[in-house]
């Protein structure tokens, strides 16, 4: 069980044969399921994409979340495709710290100047979290109508 302490060390780790089931078992709350695909679906999509970069989010030695980016380095495009913290671990700062590690990862990439994401509106939407993290509305929308937000990295 992850520590309840805000001092827990947050890390991003590769998902292995030994950890994949545990990562797939992480779930958001019922009201949040409309906003993010399950980790098993995300991992399946990642394995059929040449642009997917994904990691498990750990608090100390406990897996608490999942992140997946779409990265197209030639276009300097970095899109937060999936981001979730298990319902048991929300509200402890793990999401904020995990996303901070993603930003740190991107700042080490050549030409990375921004991280884009999108969201669906409604109760439980991640929009408020992204705004707190510094993302700003772009005024653009994806083909499916989801508003796009942008976090400047430079």
Distance between first and last Cα of the chain: 36
Return the pLDDT at 72: 83
Contact assessment for residue 55 and residue 98, using Cβ atoms and an 8 Å cutoff = no
pLDDT tier for residue 4 given thresholds of 50, 70 and 90: low
Q: Tell me the pLDDT tens digit for each residue of 72-93.
A: 877 778 999 999 999 999 999 9
Q: What is the CATH number of the domain that holds 106?
A: 3.40.630.30
Domain count, the chain: 1
Q: Tell me the pLDDT tens digit for each residue of 18-72.
A: 999 999 999 999 999 999 999 999 999 999 999 999 999 999 999 999 999 998 8
Residue 76 lies in a domain: yes
Residue 37 lies in a domain: yes
Range of the domain at 132: 10-152
Residue 2 lies in a domain: no
Residue 32 lies in a domain: yes
Query: Which candidate, 112, 114, 88, 103, places its Cα nearest to that of 28?
Result: 88
Query: Which candidate, 80, 151, 102, 108, places its Cα nearest to that of 94?
Result: 102
Residue 6 has pLDDT above 80, yes or no: no
Residue 5 lies in a domain: no
Residue 144 lies in a domain: yes
């Amino acid at each position: 069980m992850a520590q309840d302490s805000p001092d827990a060390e947050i890390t991003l780790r590769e998902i292995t044969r030994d950890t994949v089931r545990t990562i797939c078992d992480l779930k958001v709350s019922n009201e949040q399921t409309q906003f993010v695909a399950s980790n098993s679906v995300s991992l399946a999509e990642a394995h059929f994409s040449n642009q997917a970069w994904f990691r498990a989010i750990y608090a100390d030695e406990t897996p608490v979340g999942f992140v997946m980016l779409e990265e197209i380095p030639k276009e300097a495009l970095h899109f937060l495709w999936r981001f979730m913290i298990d319902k048991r671990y929300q509200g402890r700062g793990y999401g904020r710290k995990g996303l901070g590690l993603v930003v740190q990862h991107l700042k080490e990439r050549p030409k990375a100047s921004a991280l884009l994401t999108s969201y669906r509106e409604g109760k439980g939407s991640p929009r408020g979290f992204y705004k707190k993290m510094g993302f700003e509305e772009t005024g653009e929308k994806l083909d499916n109508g989801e508003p796009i937000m942008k976090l400047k990295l430079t």
